[in-house]
Structure 1
């Protein structure tokens, strides 16, 4: 077998020399070979002393025991599944071995990409692997994450988030520039990962030279073997023993029990950092505040208790300032996260894990077009992965549930996100792939039929599909934007209504994490601060503190806006000059918003802030942080960005509209499908007041769904458009 073997491995090289040449010749060859050993084959430079130090640490990793078996499987099989315990070195070492294998073939089939489900995991792994390979980050090893790329034309190994590799398939459907594709953390079952699993199942058939590596948990390897058929399986086991402590009964208040146990561990004087797996992200922030409040009351001789926030769904990993800085006393870190935050735990000093045993999952309901919260036990796979956080050292895992509960009451694997998510963006992507001949996707777990039907229906309303169900010209352009299809449709509409600059800013702000902080003085100060803050992109720390804004979230919005602006220029869409302050501009922005969000309209039915949504008979209230909340006169009709059931059935990010504006911009075939209601009757009266010519125009629009933006008479609207 002719794969590349690491120069620094402890191998026997006697077979490389011919004993008949004599001792002198052999000694000369050994010296020449020793000189070669000091050169890095990836950049041609001498190895540093740090390389050899890190190599010794790498050889101690449990995954190193299966290196030869993995290289054999990679040589003889097109698909290799690597399963096993967490924190054994799979994510850092397997890609490096793939780089060694590809180097032996001079990368004739392409370079290597390794996907991650979290942005920060991808960045951190790229930095670590570049250090271990003794090369420069951004050159031989790099990363590609949303709004950031650290690669060049010479990059041979890149770490990428799964959604970025999925988007790369839009311009390169068969991923022809890669010879080896590694899908990591497949057991997390994110929507992009499941889509990649399905599409690559066809790609490996069409590209026999392509190698596919799938890294997952032990519990999922059988399912993957059945799904892919002929594969090779490599199993990695941790060498550390973990002590698991169960409670005698299920806890009534898991959150309080977890914090009580945290302080008991701290008072026991046993050293080591602590990871707490909580039920939801709201509990992360709540626990953070409690730990900070209790800090001054703790015995100073025990050291400082430092809470660290790890939000799996956020684009940013939030850390306490100076977390890694110098400190005279002992500092014990408490990492607060949820079910899918295990891969964000990188430190090797964790000695304790606290597992509450339940999770609050967001499950999308196609009927009401929003997420509902379901409280359920974690799966056996999740429970095992939490214990394996201690795989880098021995430690204790405290499970706040009985052992028999895990054996008898929980499922083996967690549900796939493809069965719990809004599928509109995914269907738009697959329609785009259908143009390249990859529209069929053999999913490992089939999505719910009602979710697929709702996604197709929404894309039809947005004019993304033609009469044959294929992508329209609008749909092709919409698929270029890495945002919600409704938002991308609003951006396209802004080209007609001459408010592109403003719409790009709005799109960036609603896509980024919320930048609004809650000041202690209350709602009135919130409104005053936010309505007076006109320079959203002066994201300096001082300015953000003054107006109660999250500086890092604003910087993320800046990056998203720059990316959207680049896409507009790349596909040569017109960008109008900004017109902030003009009354006509407010109306234009509302028209652009309604062109994408006409399915998200609500009306105050009683004058008391009880909003009934048009598309379904769900009642909601304004979010407490809305600019309209607790005002003297709330708007009767609103367009909203998000309906949140977990936050007391609230409408978030809204703008006041008038019914005639909705009638002007909503497709007639959407309006005709709305359920009967008083609100629909009011809108019907507005339609009846239109001229016969306009009514005829709407009927034509029903039969030609992709002919958008038919002109209607201008109608007045309230000159107010607040994004809050």
Structure 2
């Protein structure tokens, strides 16, 4: 045992870090005690260690550790099956332990919460430690960490939020950014800040993990230039699965060869479902993963396959469709690693790109069907709206999906072989609303951090629009820095408009109700799409919750009823939601979000009034609070038929069918003026979640300089006449002008442009 202790002392000695790279990081392989908790290793540790050594990434272990010692920044390019996501964070933790965590612990970021949790559980198992102790995770609304945590998995957005209080991440010695090729908004911002972080902290190490093509890693490496030393490692790719393209004969799915026939891009959806049923009739075992473009397609496919599964012959296995989408991930009906899943049951996982990470935890997938398309929302700053875009997936994503079924499986690509696909995923920073990002960057300037060196600099028009909206919300001062209101808004994990409405609710004594509205709108949609035969029943149930003042009030009704029902004996949330055609996951998420927002209000000592929902005063105050944040989203019914004219962009839109003012409610009469939460340029061109307001209330709550900047229209003229009448009455009643509840600042367009520049 003394020999073992001497080896441990030698390995953790920082002075020998550079002299013994080869064996400094080899401890744990032959020792009896776990270097992280001091306990003997279990038999499972050695079993998993044997499996880990078979991974392609293990061959580059020594090369990676040597690069990490000698360079501040290391890029690793490898496919999903190399094992880099689970192994490299562990090696970084061993490096930090060998230096006695002199520079800090290790954090590994992921784009999606599910992936962060799954990796934390797997790594804790491989390191033979307890989850929540030495290894933990932190995702929105959930934290599983302690003071003993030396390796933390979190989302990119959570690490950015942590930077608002710790701008240089002093807690960490190594930052691992996994799946950088996804190019999410938070990932790009984090990568943009890395350069400044590394310059300010010479002891900090950063590791960026991404998938091929190699040119993407080389381009990312060159982005940092000579600002810091950077190394690039390329991992050996495992053998790909057998690939069958659309223009091959997919009817002979058991053989997987042949030419001629196939499907076309315009019917990829039904071609994918036909192929699922054809695969199920073969003798080959294994689950099926189907990648579709959107959540709506997943829902329709799930319904169709459920119906078709009842018509299959008794000699076939049971066909079980499983939805895997962001915010609506179902657990597999049997454990993912159970070998018995291949006998008697075939699962069909229906997923979009958002649910793709969950599939890597399923070991039984033998077939992959890739439609080759995805639905994305692209933000248009000119009209302040998202557009739905159906487009081809990237070559990077296509190659990743081909590896999902391992070399023994088959991947069916429902597009022609050789079809040109974009090389990389589209950077979301070029397609997203930048309001929250600009608010964060302004907050970081207060924290003392320098400029954000974006990989792809956002569109100047999008930046200007974000700065303009923050200025309208009084989040910026006359110098373009964050105002006191802006600092408070940056504390909320909300869109600035919703944060401004929540902040105003504390002034108007309706914070309890606005907490519910903010939580319900931040969670996934609570309304479930009913089966074909139950549409009328679902509409009837939803109508019972409808509030005459609008959809925001309807959401409060739903949440309050949900909370009240929880007090009943033998309450079952799943049954209650099923009876009311509501999404239980959405309501549970809203409950957690509301609790988090309430804690933030208490922490920054903002008053939360007692609930008084239903009174006339409370109703008026809720509308005032909503207009404090969403005065830029006002529409008027110009013909009494539900054609709403939006004052900001002069577009005309219909009401979304889910709304209480939807098509089925037209006979009840539609409000002339509404405030709405969301507008999307889709096939139906709808505004969503709207409530009735009066022109007088809009004038009272809207900053004067925003009103002056509205484009000319008949609706603006109507408001102008109302404004003049109110001003005339006020001047006759009291010669002293009254201070409005809104923030009014007279600002010329030139002055606004000068100070709305992102430094």
What is the TM-score when the length of structure 2 is the normalising length? 0.85
Please name the residue that 2:258 is paired with: none
Deviation at 1:390, TM superposition (A): 3.0
Please name the residue that 1:614 is paired with: 647
The two structures, once aligned, show a CA RMSD in angstroms of 2.1
In 2 relative to 1, CA 397–123 (structure 1 residues): closer, same or farther, beyond 3 Å? same
Query: For structure 1, which segment, 143-152 or 315-324, has the greater mean C-alpha deviation from structure 2 after superposition?
Result: 315-324
Counterpart check, 1:305 vs 2:319: yes
Counterpart check, 1:109 vs 2:96: no
Distance in 2 (CA, whole Å) between partners of 1:142 and 1:598 is: 42
Distance in 2 (CA, whole Å) between partners of 1:524 and 1:342 is: 35
Deviation at 1:543, TM superposition (A): 2.7
Counterpart check, 1:127 vs 2:121: yes
Contact 2:541 2:581 in 1 (8 A): no
Please name the residue that 2:67 is paired with: 73
Distance in 1 (CA, whole Å) between partners of 2:461 and 2:240 is: 46
Please name the residue that 2:676 is paired with: 640
Distance in 2 (CA, whole Å) between partners of 1:265 and 1:700 is: 63
Please name the residue that 1:425 is paired with: 436
Contact 1:342 1:389 in 2 (8 A): no
Superposed counterparts of 1:33-182, under 5 Å:
37-182=31-176
The match for 2:384 among 369, 374, 399 is 369
Task: For structure 1, list consecutive stretches of 5 or more residues without a partner in the other structure.
Answer: 11-36, 706-724
Please name the residue that 1:217 is paired with: 211
Please name the residue that 1:557 is paired with: 590
Superposed counterparts of 1:587-606, under 5 Å:
587-606=620-639
Please name the residue that 1:688 is paired with: 724
Distance in 1 (CA, whole Å) between partners of 2:283 and 2:290 is: 18
Distance in 2 (CA, whole Å) between partners of 1:396 and 1:186 is: 27
Deviation at 1:308, TM superposition (A): 2.0
Please name the residue that 1:318 is paired with: 330
The superposition leaves residues 517-574 of structure 1 with CA deviations (integer Å, 9 ceiling, x where unpaired) of 2452523342025557542334622332332221121111111011101111111111
Superposed counterparts of 1:423-462, under 5 Å:
423-462=434-473
In 2 relative to 1, CA 498–51 (structure 1 residues): closer, same or farther, beyond 3 Å? same
Give the count of matched residue pairs: 673
Deviation at 1:69, TM superposition (A): 1.1
The superposition leaves residues 634-653 of structure 1 with CA deviations (integer Å, 9 ceiling, x where unpaired) of 11111111112226112211
Contact 2:165 2:447 in 1 (8 A): no
The superposition leaves residues 103-145 of structure 1 with CA deviations (integer Å, 9 ceiling, x where unpaired) of 1111111000000111111111111111111111100000000
Deviation at 1:318, TM superposition (A): 2.8
Please name the residue that 2:712 is paired with: 676
The match for 1:226 among 222, 228, 233 is 222
Deviation at 1:44, TM superposition (A): 0.8
What is the TM-score when the length of structure 1 is the normalising length? 0.89
Deviation at 1:628, TM superposition (A): 2.2
The SS at the match of 1:403 is coil
Superposed counterparts of 1:283-682, under 5 Å:
283-311=297-325, 314-319=326-331, 329-345=343-359, 346-391=361-406, 393-405=407-419, 409-519=420-530, 520-522=534-536, 523-529=539-545, 533=558, 534-537=560-563, 538=565, 540-629=573-662, 630-631=664-665, 632-646=668-682, 648-682=684-718
Deviation at 1:296, TM superposition (A): 1.2
Counterpart check, 1:235 vs 2:234: yes
Superposed counterparts of 1:267-278, under 5 Å:
267-278=281-292
The SS at the match of 1:302 is coil
Task: For structure 2, list consecutive stretches of 5 or more residues without a partner in the other structure.
Answer: 1-18, 248-261, 548-556, 567-572, 749-759
Distance in 1 (CA, whole Å) between partners of 2:746 and 2:206 is: 45
Please name the residue that 1:7 is paired with: 27
Distance in 1 (CA, whole Å) between partners of 2:202 and 2:611 is: 51
Distance in 1 (CA, whole Å) between partners of 2:652 and 2:496 is: 25
Please name the residue that 1:17 is paired with: none
The SS at the match of 2:207 is strand
Distance in 1 (CA, whole Å) between partners of 2:518 and 2:203 is: 41
Query: For structure 1, which segment, 419-428 or 322-331, has the greater mean C-alpha deviation from structure 2 after superposition?
Result: 322-331
Distance in 1 (CA, whole Å) between partners of 2:234 and 2:275 is: 34
Please name the residue that 1:712 is paired with: none
Distance in 2 (CA, whole Å) between partners of 1:434 and 1:404 is: 47
Contact 2:103 2:172 in 1 (8 A): yes
The match for 1:200 among 194, 219, 222 is 194
Please name the residue that 1:709 is paired with: none
Contact 1:529 1:548 in 2 (8 A): no
The SS at the match of 1:171 is coil
Contact 1:601 1:614 in 2 (8 A): yes
Contact 1:489 1:596 in 2 (8 A): yes
Deviation at 1:347, TM superposition (A): 1.3
Distance in 2 (CA, whole Å) between partners of 1:647 and 1:627 is: 20
The SS at the match of 1:491 is helix
Deviation at 1:588, TM superposition (A): 0.6
Contact 2:137 2:144 in 1 (8 A): yes
